[in-house]
Amino acid sequence: MIAADKLRITGAEVVLPCAELEATIGFFRDRLGFELEAIFPADAPAVAVVAGHGLRLRLERGGEGPAGHIRLLCREPDAVAQGGRMLTAPNGTRVELVEAETPVVVPPLKPGFVLSHMEGDGGWDKGRAGMLYRDLIPGRLGGRFIASHIRIPSGGPVPDYVHFHKVRFQMIFCRTGWVRLVYEDQGPPFLMQAGDCVLQPPEIRHRVLESSAGLEVIELACPAVHETFADSTLTLPTPHLNPRRDFGGQRFLRHVAAQARWQPWRVLGFECRDTGMGEATRGLAGARVVRPKGASETPRETHDREFQFFFVLDGTATLACEGTHALAPGDAVTIPAGLPYALGACADNLSLLEVTLPA
Ligand SMILES: [Fe+2]
């Protein structure tokens, strides 16, 4: 990005044609709270500049071109609009009043059994900034969930900036390599290494700084399509450390595999290291790494959860669910509520990432 002062640009204006100069100034000033900044020539005004809400409009009498469409972000659009959210200025410019803070829209769940095989080195799509993506839940359960296997083949600095996401849930699990990250109010940048994961609570500012070659992460989010905003006003790291800070009912979580304790899983003969996601999300979501401890199969069972997802980190197994399927590293499976499933022939080195909603 080029610094504005380097370009010596000091401001910006949108030029709008305007036959009714006086009436249009009145509309923007009296109705919408703009201020008149300039008007000339004094004897027969032909140009006026009105400014407000971060926008400068240059109204030119006799100007050419379309009258334009402005969106005004309002805390209470209906209080401004008084009978309609689309206004038309005397010069023809359409002014749309929209909610400044839109709630996250979570589409209804379309449950389904989704099995996604790694298939050697294929199945990757080119994403932004040299990243490769595998969609682990094509169809995305109606747009409610997305799970991506992301790979950065060549390491080095990542051209990222401070940003945040409007989400209900979002986590990143590091499969191989490492990535250097920094989060708002969570201290200095740190390395997320293989086996580690983070919970990105709604709207926490963060930045990806650097990665190793061959970095692979699994990213899960709800909803599948969500808004991302840059925040150029904030510099990371922030001076204050506030690990318990609440972000939309959740707190930031960093789970470090090397410090984790193993405990019994819900299925006898298996153990897991829990990431603490349940506590950090107040029960919204759970994430854990599961491995056999004596057993090689799970009983045939159903669940009643909104979301049940496995990613094979290591080892092999079979999955009995609408047929029998061989599972290998890189495979992912999403199982809908009410559909019986069981794992069998679990290799001793089997390692699964399990993510569930609720926890
Ligand atoms: Fe992000």
Structure confidence at residue 35 as a pLDDT band (50, 70, 90) = very high
Average pLDDT, integer, range 162-166: 95
Between 130 and 165, the more confident residue is: 165
**Least confident span in 40-49, 76-85, 199-208, 346-355:** 76-85
What residue type is 254 in one-letter code?
A: R
Q: How far is the CA of 213 from the centre of ligand 1 (A)?
A: 19
Q: How far is the CA of 304 from the centre of ligand 1 (A)?
A: 30
> Measured at the alpha carbon of residue 236, what is the angle toward residues 233 and 241, in degrees to the nearest 5?
115
Q: How far is the CA of 164 from the centre of ligand 1 (A)?
A: 6
Q: At residue 154, does pLDDT exceed 70?
A: yes
Q: How far is the CA of 100 from the centre of ligand 1 (A)?
A: 21
Q: How far is the CA of 278 from the centre of ligand 1 (A)?
A: 21
Structure confidence at residue 111 as a pLDDT band (50, 70, 90) = very high
* pLDDT for res 42: 87
Count of beta carbons in the 10 Å neighbourhood of residue 243: 12
Q: How far is the CA of 229 from the centre of ligand 1 (A)?
A: 9
- 3-state SS, residue 26: helix
Q: What are residue 332's DSSP bridge partners?
A: 116, 311
Structure confidence at residue 5 as a pLDDT band (50, 70, 90) = confident
Structure confidence at residue 1 as a pLDDT band (50, 70, 90) = low
Q: How far is the CA of 347 from the centre of ligand 1 (A)?
A: 35
The pTM for the full model equals 0.85
Alpha helices (H) in the chain, listed in sequence order: 4-7, 21-26, 77-81, 277-280
Q: How far is the CA of 290 from the centre of ligand 1 (A)?
A: 26
* pLDDT for res 10: 86
Determine the Cα–Cα distance for residues 301 and 341; give it in Å rounded to an integer: 6
Q: How far is the CA of 156 from the centre of ligand 1 (A)?
A: 17
Q: How far is the CA of 232 from the centre of ligand 1 (A)?
A: 14
- For CA atoms 178, 179, 180, 182, the dihedral sign is negative
Q: How far is the CA of 288 from the centre of ligand 1 (A)?
A: 21
Q: What are residue 207's DSSP bridge partners?
A: 182
